[in-house]
Structures are given as structure tokens and as C-alpha cells.
Structure 1
Amino acid sequence: MTSLTAQSATTIAPQTAAWNRQQPSGMPSHRYRDVFSRVDVPLESREWPTKRLTEAPLWVPVDLRDGNQALAEPMDPERKRLFFERMVAMGYKEIEVGYPSASQTDFDFVRLIAETDIAPDDVTIVVFTAARRDLIERTVESIAGISNPVVIHMYTATAPMWRDAVLGHSREALKELILAGGRDMLELAGDMPGVRFQFSPEVFNLTEPDYVLEVCDAITELWDARPERPVILNLPATVEIATPNVYADQIEYMHTHLARRDGVILSVHPHNDRGTGIACAELAVLAGAQRVEGCIFGNGERTGNVDIATLALNLHAQGIDPKIDFSDIDAIRRTVEHCNRIEVHPRHPYVGDLVHTAFSGTHQDAIKKGFAEHRARAAALGEPEAELEWRVPYLPIDPADIGRNYDAVIRVNSQSGKGGIAYLLESSYGITLPRRLQIDLAKRVQHHSDESGAEVTAAEILAIFTEAYCAPAQASVGAGDAVRPVPRLAAFETTGDAGEERTVVVLRSAAGAEAVTEHFRVGPVEALTAALADIGIDLDVLELHQNSIGAGNSSEAITLIEFRHAGGTAWAAGRDRSTLRATLAAVMAAASRA
């Protein structure tokens, strides 16, 4: 695998053949520099491209601090508590709860944790502070009396642009400022039981690798990082500025060059400015990161923090336990939307309303066949469907894993095909259609959808099906100039033993006139079609399908028949608690269409 670094850059350019020659956009791209002119990662060889994800990293949701700062209306105490309790219930064991020196609300929430039992004993509380003595003092004051493990997270921006334009410090001056904050941490909280330290060189990914390594080694030395009391070094992609492989190179460089590595928990905090925060986090873990900070569903400044729900469920989809419970993802979404007052996009990975939904006909057909194959494999192996390896096209995970049912997996609009329409009838009502009937019904449903321009529900498909095949058609039978309505079946009785059956059929016209016929040694379909032929309605049943709808005493039978008549071939259907009556109803429905 080739990595796009300053040492081994692959040129990526559009084709210049005449058939693909593109014109300049007119956008002022010349104003920007590529990442290689900003960050030169001195990594001669790399191991991360050959690695595979095998276990979940340590997760740290930062919704209550970093995500909360990104809200137009920050959370009130009630919403913060609700969100915190949801994260605890999901199984997070380390939660960043706020920036207690930045607002009274955050300070009060930390005090709530100290003074109540809302945080289980095994949950580590993380609080955030800048490297300034008065802010560190306020932070330490907020955690007084907390019985839970606590991490005090100190940060300072280290990149050249921030040093020059924001902080006004040289490299050496900024290093001393950071170490001064580290010494204040030791003085004020170094002896507090259960308290550990974390340092973030903010904008790590835009900082010179040699400088950030120097600063991190200095702080771990100051804090005496060792396995029994490790220091967390968090390396943020505060503003995402490069392809994910560059971030992976930066993380691997730190992972392989840090002093006291066995006393360091290497953490990452990607943002999503380029839309590749997920990829950055996954490659960073391959490169040596052990811990990931982010927000559930990715809220955060600008385009957001990395989405740790998607990261976790990506692991689940690869057969790796994410160690976080997403089995009721809709309840989680309701909490997040309520607390953030931001709706989750319907196409958001895993949690969006439409992420397991197919409207396309080819997708629907593949999903329908995949479900059928999954059921057949389970039956052949004698295993529960829920325990069998998941292999259904277009569905990377079983929606049931995250508390979703299959009702919305296939939905029908004008782009849908016969497979999706048939799936909805079968899954919602138990009606299984043969292929040729699927094609016929699909034309009717698509005509309806084209006229309405809207999605077609399963109930609407059933109504279209019933009107097209089950209900008596508005038709009549002509004989010369005489036109008469199609009769109804008034009576049908079979007597005698097998092979000696005698069937009496009574057809009654709308005017009350009856035609009574007798039929010997034939089945019910042959008897009824013969009786209809006697009054001038000729139809030939080509194919007959039967199945039950529902289960137990409340089940119904449905009969589907394909028949030939003077105008060609068509379909009809009948439903009844009795299989015989369902079949007779299907033949009479066919007669009304013949």
C-alpha cells in the first residue's frame, strides 16, 4: 500500500484524454497549501497498513463538553443529567462531563456527580481545563469529594499558526507554559486518590512532529508516567486537514517514538472537517491509538467530532464486540436529539430512519432473496436465524441487532420493482405471490405511484391487490346485443366418495334467475368452470397457488389463479377461512374479468 506522505507521494490527477478533459473550475484553490508543505512526518516505514482491527478501543464520549460547546443552546442541568445517564446505561466507563472552569452550569454538574450517586463507582469522570493556574484551581475545586476515578484533562494549542497568531509564543516559551500548567496540576491534585492526568496538544495534526514529541515526552516525565498510573496523551485532529493516512502516519510516529510508552495511554480526538473523521479514527487505532474521544452521532464544532456510535457499530459489523450496547438505537437517538435539539439525518449511518430501507427495485429483489436464503440456511442447519452468520445483500448488519424491525427495510415508490412489492405483501400480510403475478401487480402499483408521486404503503398495495384481483370487476357478459351482469355463486355442494363425486353448482343472476348444473367425477375448479361455460363465460385455469395467511384459528386461505380467456391471460384471487371457498371465490373473480 502506498501512503501519501512527503517521502512517498503518489500523484493523483484526472485523466487528460480527450474524452475526459476537464476545464479549470475558476475556484481560488491556489490560496491553499497541501498538507505536505505543513507537516513532514519523519516516518521511514509504516506498519499500520498491514494491521487489522481486532478489539474495541477505550471509548470516551465528549458530548457533555465538546459537543455541548457546539450547541446554539447549551444543555441545561436536566438535559445534561439525562444524557449522562443514557451513556452510563449504554456501558461507557469513561465520560468527559464538562469544562467546570468555563461555566457555572458545568461546575454545578460536576458537583452533582460528587454529591449524588448518579455515577456508578466504575465510571471514570473526565474534566477539562486549559493550562492556566486559576482555571486548574477551579477545576480541582469542582472534583472535591468525588469518589469515582477522575481524569483532569489539560490542553494547550501547539501548532505554528496558533503559536504565532493566537498565543504569541515561541516553541520554547510555549513548552514552558505547558510544563508550568503540568506543575500546577501536580501541586493541586497530584496527591488526590484516584486522580490521573491527561494532556492534549491541541491541533496536534498541524504541529511539527519533533516539537509535539518533545512536549509530550516532557509532560510524561514531569507527571512520572508509569503503567500503574498511566498518563493519557490525547492527539487531536482539531481541524481535519489531510487524508486519513497522514493522520495514521502521525499517530504511528508518536506511538513508536514516545518515551515511557508503557506508561502512556495513546488517545485520539478526530474532527470531521473533511468528512473523513471515521476513517481517521479507524486508521489511528491501527497505528497504535488505544483510546478514542468523540460524540455519539458526531455532534461538535463545525462539521462535528468523530461519530463514536458509527465507529462502534462498524466494529460490530466486522464481528468485533464494541463493548457498548446499541441494542435499542432508537431510544439512544431520542435522548441525543432531545438533549442536543438537533435531529439525526435520515441517512445517518446505522441510526437514520432510512439506512436500512431500499426503494430501488434491484436492491429490493436482492434483499428479498437474501432473507429467503437466510431462512433456508437456518432451517437446513437447524439453527435459530438470530444466531446464524448474517449474509443479506445491502444490509451490512441485521437491523434487529439495534432494535429495528423489518417493517421499513423495503418501501415502495415509483423506483421500486416487483420484488419489493411482493416482499411487503408477504411480510405484512403473509401473501406470497408467484413471479408472473408479481410482475402484473408491480405494473399496477407503479402506475399508482407515478400518478400520486408518493411512497406506497403496504396497506395501499394490499388495497390495489384486492381491487385488481379479488373484488368483482365492473364487467358484464355479452351475448349478441344482450348484455347481462356476471352471476354470483349461490350454492356449491359435493357428495359421494372419491372418484364418484357429484357436484351441484347454482349460479344466480342479478335478477334472481338460477342456472343449476351437475358435474361428476371432477374437482371443484373443473365443476365451477364448466358451470360458467354453460352460461357463456369461458375461462381456462392455467395455474393455481394456495397458501395460508396468519396462524392458528384466525388464519385464512388465499388462492391465486392464472387463467386464459378470450382476451388473453390474467390473474384473480380469493380469500376465505375455508380453502375451498377461497378457491371458488378466485374462480368467480376470474369470471368477472373474463
Structure 2
Amino acid sequence: MFNYQKYEKKYYLPPTLSYDWVKKETVEKAPIWCSVDLRDGNQALPIPMNLEEKLEMFQLLVDIGFKEIEVAFPAASDTEFNLLRTLIDNNMIPDDVTIMVITQAREHIIRRTFEAIQGAPKAIVHLYNSTSEAQRRQVFKKTKEEIKQIAVDGAILVKELAEETGGDIYFQYSPESFPGTEVEYALDICNSVLDIWKPIPEHKAIINIPTTVENAMPHIYASQIEYIHKNLSYREAVTLSIHPHNDRGCGVSDAEFGVLAGAERVEGTLFGIGERTGNVDLITLAMNMYSQGYDPELNFSNLDAIRKKYEGLTRTTVHERQPYSGDLVFTAFSGSHQDAISKGMKYRRENKLEKWDVPYIPVDPADLGRNYQTDVIRINSQSGKGGIGYILESNYGIKLPYKMNEEMGYLTKKVSDETNKELSAEEIYLVFIDHYVDYYPSFQVVDYQFNKNGEQKVTLTLLKDNQQIEIHGKGTGSLDAVSNALQEYFGIDYNLEVYEQHSLGKSSLAEASAQIGISHQGRMYWGAGINQDIMKASVQALVAAVNKLEVF
């Protein structure tokens, strides 16, 4: 049964509430980013990465710009331990990158962790134990004081081993399962741990507040973080960190609100890959800053390549609608959206705008290595004339008159509807060629000769019913002479209403495109021609349009 009455809220409000974070408009300064892809992300994979894959992932994270990387739970397996030793023994850790290792507050695990980081130039030891009311009662069967003592004992041992090990070692503590923990109790444990470590501003400790299981709205989490931020001991010597998960789908909001509330550091993963519904997606967080005009200090200028490498290493697939990185996030199928985007892109070009401001597209796809021609507008049966015209112009340089573009839109959507599929740019181009350029069901012109003696005269050689026929005409100009010859020979009457031409390239050898619209008995008929010779293109267009008349 779908029984909502079996559930109740499981979060705790801080003893005092303040909403100073609400007064801040947006995240303007990049927090310290810590990638946990190699640990938290990896443990969520059905097939965890092997050593070689982890080393590749580490290098990918370094290339993106992460300065803190949680690389392993070294006591968990030999692969985790060996990753640490490989990185350290082969001097693979850049000078400006700090690795992090995680350990439960258990003696043998802590000792194994310090064995793993022996010789590391710089490292963060991340200590945690679970503090929630449910886990205290159901799992550990311990009192608050007993749970706090686990954290304190772990902190003492971590400090002792760090002094014995030497090197530049930083400490981090997380009250795991924080969302189900009384806020003032979590704060008490964190301050008790800090009393052991006694951090100084020149060598800060990290207090990390995780949404291990997201169970409240983002503003609740922000209020909890603000309370801890304002009441944390040694505050000037502590980096307040957050580690959002995404069980309610609010991981990004938790992170952004948490930073507004006082957090200076965010742990997460690329694409949000993590336990259950995942960790917070650091790409989304960074790109949200970027889209507001602030430097996220991470480089996603080749996001497609990053995604492909990540998918290969983790054997996962990034969803096509994943913010910023999915295949379809910059794509419009809707006709009205396509029309607005097409006009917006044209406006941007014509006005040579520096600032990005295009309807329906929050950031420039080119900034992420995406392609306007293949990513921004794609065509199916829901698309409109604006999008189809944009595809032809951006891919092939073909600019259609408004009414012709409208007719082309209906033709293309019909093809998509009948085939029940999205059409590629090439398929759209072929629809254009088949219906407007290579359209000679009744006759075609195989040759023409002009002779100007006062007025323009033309001799046309037609191919009709597999026979060549020579006809003549005259007019005020070349195209007028061709049109008059066709009307006289076939005994038809139409008006040449629209004639447009343009080059398909910038060189002198570029082909030209001509579009012609003729009216007959209240209806428009369209044709197009493509040729290096603009007159040949124009004759092609006229002949294709005349072939469409319902008189043959």
C-alpha cells in the first residue's frame, strides 16, 4: 500500500534559528572543491574501478583543476591501499594538490590508514563516525556520551599517529548521518574533536557536515549549517565543509544554500555519481557560478571529452538531461523554442554582443566544447520552421524566404512524423534538395542561350517525355525571358513573386543559392537552385517551381 502515514520528519532544527544566509544573492566566490569520485563515487559503482582506471581518474581530476581529492578508503581493500602507495611512491601527486583518505573512528582502521599515507607530501586524514539518533539506538545501542567518546578517541589516535608519521598532515572530522542527528549534539561532538586537535589559522582543521541521507528541504540544511558556522569553536582555524547527497533531489540547492550559510568547502563528484541517488554534482555547482559571471576555478571547457572519459572509466552513462553535460541539455525540439533561439543567435551575430543572452540557452554551448550545428537545434515532428531554417543556414548556408521556410517546415515535420524519428541535418538537407532543387517530374532545362538585341532573348532546350524541345522567349531581363518562354510554350499563367539569391560561402568559387516563389490561382509554388553560376541557379529554381504547378 502507498501509505504516507508510516513516515514522519526525521530532521532536527537548531536550538536557535537565523536566516542571514537568505540575504545573500548568489555564490560569488568559489569554495574549496574536493572531489570524492575515487572514494564515494567509486564505492557506488556496480563494478568499482581497478588501479589503472583510478590512476586515470586521478589525472582527469587534476587536469580539471581540483586541489583536494579524496583518493581512497585505504583500509577497505588492497586496491585502495595500493592506489595510495602508487601515487606516493611514484611522485604522481602535484605540489598544489592535497590528497585525502577516509577512516572510521576505529583503531585498526586508523592505523592502516596512516600506513597508506606514509611519505605523502601532504594529506588530509578524514575521520568519521555515525551520530544519528536512529543509528545510536538501532545499530550501535550506545548513548550520546558513548558515541561522542568514539569520535574523541579517534581524534586522539589520529593526532598521535600524525605526530609519529611526520609530514604535512591535516585533520578532518565528519559527524556521519548528520541529517538525523540533533544539531546541538553534532556541534558538541565537532567541538570536542577540535579541542583535541587544537587547530590554528596557519594549519586549519576541517569540519565536514554531510547530508548522508537527505531528509529535509534545503533551507533547513542551510539553517543547520549557519548555526554550526556561528557556534563552532576555533572558527578562524577551521574550514567548514559540506558533503551533500541527493536523496530528495536537492543536492545542488543544499550545497549552494550551505555555502551562503557559511560553508567554505564542498565535497562532491563529477556528474553526481554516488550512493543511491548520488552526491552533489560538482559540474552543476561550478557551471551555475560560471553562468552568473563568476569564476568557479574548475575548467570544464571540454566537458564532452570529460564525460566520455568518465563514462569509460566508470562504466556508467551520464543522463541525456543531466545539467550542462547531458547530450540534450542545449537542444530544442519545440518549434517556438527553436524560433526564439534562431532569432536570438542571429541578433547576437548582427549586434556583435560580448555578453551571452540567448533565449532558452543559459550558457554558450561552445564554452563547453559543444557544437551549435549539432547540439542546439534538432528536428523532429514537434519542430518548427525557425529550427529547420536554422539547420539549413548554420550547416549549409541556405537562407530561405519566410513563406518558403514555412512550407519547408511542414514538409520536414511530415517526414519526421511518418518515419517516427529525429532527422539529422543531412536528412533535412535531402528533404530540401528533393522537394525544391532536384524537382523535375514534368520537364527540365538542359541548356539555354541568351541573345541581347534591344531586349533580352533566350533559347531554351527542354527535356520532356524523353525528348529534347527547343523553345524561345524574350523579356526585360534574363530570368524574365526564361519565365516568358515557359509560360508561352506551356500555355500557363503565373506571377514571379519572390526572387532571392545569396552565396553559400566566402570564396569566389563558392556556390550560390537562388530561391523563387511563383503564384498561380492564389497559391505559392517554390523552387530552389544551387550552382556556382547564379544564373544557372536561378533557372534551376524557376524550373523547379514551375514543375510544381498543377497543370501538367
Q: What TM-score results when the alignment is normalised by the length of structure 2?
A: 0.96
Deviation string, structure 1 residues 27-80 (Cα, Å, up to 9, x no partner): 211111124xx4132233220111131111100010111111111211100110
Q: Report the Cα offset of residue 571 of structure 1.
A: 0.8
8 Å CA contact 2:502–2:512 kept in 1: the answer is yes
Does residue 491 of structure 1 match 2:448? yes
How far 1:515 sits from its partner (Å)?
Answer: 2.2
- Deviations, residues 509-562 of structure 1 (Å, cap 9, x unaligned): 543342234x36x11121111112221243320111111112314411111111
Q: Indicate the residue corresponding to 2:71 in structure 1.
A: 97
- Alignment equivalent of 2:268, drawn from 279, 284, 294: 294
Q: Which residue of 2 aligns with 1:525?
A: 479
Q: Which amino acid aligns with 1:106?
A: E
Of the three residues 43, 58, 78, the one matched with 1:69 is 43
Aligned to 1:247: 221
1:408 Cα deviation (Å)? 2.0
Matched, 1:33 2:8: yes
Aligned to 2:507: 552
- Deviation by residue 1:220-267 (Cα, 9 ceiling, x = unmatched): 121011101111000001010000000000000000111111011000
Q: Look up the match of 2:148.
A: 175
- Name the CA distance, whole Å, in 1 between partners of 2:455 and 2:39: 82
Q: Which residue of 1 aligns with 2:329?
A: 355
CA contact (8 A) 1:296 1:307 kept: yes
Closer, same or farther: CA 273–472 of 1 in aligned 2, 3 Å:
closer
Is 1:58 equivalent to 2:15 in the alignment?
Answer: no
1:504 aligns with 2:504: no
Q: Report the alpha carbon displacement of residue 490 of structure 1 after superposing the two structures with TM.
A: 2.6
For residue 420 of structure 1, what is the aligned residue in structure 2? 387
Deviation at 1:153, TM superposition (A): 0.5
SS at match of 2:102: strand
Match of 2:368 in 1: 402
> Partner amino acid for 1:32?
Y
Which residue of 366, 389, 401 maps to 1:434?
Answer: 401
Contact 2:458 2:478 in 1 (8 A): no
d(CA) in 1 for partners of 2:71, 2:524: 70
- In the alignment, is the contact (CA less than 8 A) between 1:371 and 1:392 conserved in 2? yes
Q: Aligned match of 2:520 in 538, 556, 565?
A: 565
Does the Cα contact within 8 Å between 2:495 and 2:520 map onto a contact in 1?
Answer: yes
Distance 1:556 1:67, change over 3 A: same
Determine the structure 2 residue equivalent to 1:461.
428
Query: What's the CA shift string for 1:132-161, capped at 9, x where partnerless?
Result: 1111111111111112x2100000011111
Q: Is the 8 Å Cα contact of residues 461 and 468 (structure 2) preserved in structure 1?
A: no
Aligned to 2:537: 582
Q: Is the 8 A contact 1:422 1:433 kept in 2?
A: yes
Judged with a 3 Å threshold, the aligned counterparts in structure 2 of structure 1 residues 565 and 266 are, in CA distance, closer, same or farther, namely same
Give the structure 1 partner of residue 90 of structure 2. Answer: 116
Partner residue in 2 for 1:391 = 357
1:260 aligns with 2:227: no
Amino acid at match of 1:573: A
**Contact (CA 8 Å) 1:529, 1:539: kept in 2 or not?**
no
> What does residue 446 of structure 1 align with?
413
Residue correspondence of structure 1 range 206-355 to structure 2 within 5 A? 206-355=180-329
Q: Deviations over 1:297-333 (max 9, x none)?
A: 1111111111111111111111111100101111111
Between the aligned partners of 2:444 and 2:172, the Cα distance in structure 1 is: 86
CA distance in 2, matches of 1:512, 1:174: 99
Letter in 2 for 1:433: L
1:440-493: per-residue Cα shift (whole Å, max 9, x none)?
A: 111111211111111111111111111211123323xxxxxxxxxx36253222
Q: Relative to structure 1, is the Cα distance of residues 44 and 273 closer, same or farther in structure 2, using a 3 angstrom cutoff?
A: closer
Letter in 1 for 2:336: T
Q: Determine the C-alpha separation between the residues in 2 that align with 1:397 and 1:295.
A: 21
What are the ranges of 5 or more consecutive residues in structure 2 without an aligned counterpart?
A: none
Residue aligning to 1:534: 488
The farther-off stretch of 39-48 and 232-241 is 39-48
Which of residues 40, 43, 48 in structure 1 aligns to 2:21?
Answer: 48
Change (3 A) 1:591 1:98: same
Query: Retained in 1: the 8 A contact 2:456–2:478?
Result: no
Q: Is the 8 Å Cα contact of residues 101 and 138 (structure 1) preserved in structure 2? A: yes
Q: Secondary structure at the match of 2:426?
A: helix
By how many angstroms is 1:117 displaced?
Answer: 2.4
**AA at the equivalent of 1:402:** L
Identity %: 43
In 2 relative to 1, CA 202–578 (structure 1 residues): closer, same or farther, beyond 3 Å?
Answer: same
Alpha carbons of structure 1 residues 107 and 214: separation in structure 2 relative to 1, 3 Å: same
Kindly provide the CA deviation profile for residues 195-244 of structure 1, in whole angstroms up to 9, marking residues without a partner as x. 11000010112211111111111111210111011110000010100000
RMSD: 1.5
Q: Which runs of 5 or more structure 1 residues have no equivalent in the other structure? A: 1-25, 379-384, 476-485
Note the C-alpha offset of 1:567. 7.0
For residue 162 of structure 1, what is the aligned residue in structure 2? 135
Decide whether aligned partners of structure 1 residues 509 and 341 sit closer, same or farther in structure 2, where only a CA change above 3 A counts.
closer
Alpha-carbon offset, residue 175 of structure 1? 1.3
SS, match of residue 298 in structure 2: coil
Contact 1:365/1:420 (8 A) holds in 2: yes
Asked if 2 retains the 8 angstrom alpha-carbon contact of 1:532 and 1:538, the reply is: no
Inter-CA distance 319–516: structure 2 relative to 1 (3 Å threshold) = same
Determine the C-alpha separation between the residues in 2 that align with 1:508 and 1:254.
87
Alignment of 1:364-375 (within 5 A): 364-375=338-349
Contact in 1 for aligned 2:17/2:223 (Cα 8 Å): no
Q: How many residues align?
A: 543
> Amino acid of the residue matched to residue 235 of structure 1?
I
Q: SS of the counterpart of 2:33? A: strand
Distance 1:472 1:300, change over 3 A: closer
Letter aligned with residue 481 of structure 2: A
Paired residues of 1:205 and 1:250 also in contact (CA < 8 A): no
The amino acid that maps onto 1:490 is: D
Q: Which moved more, 1:505-514 or 1:137-146?
A: 505-514
Q: TM-score, normalised by structure 1?
A: 0.89
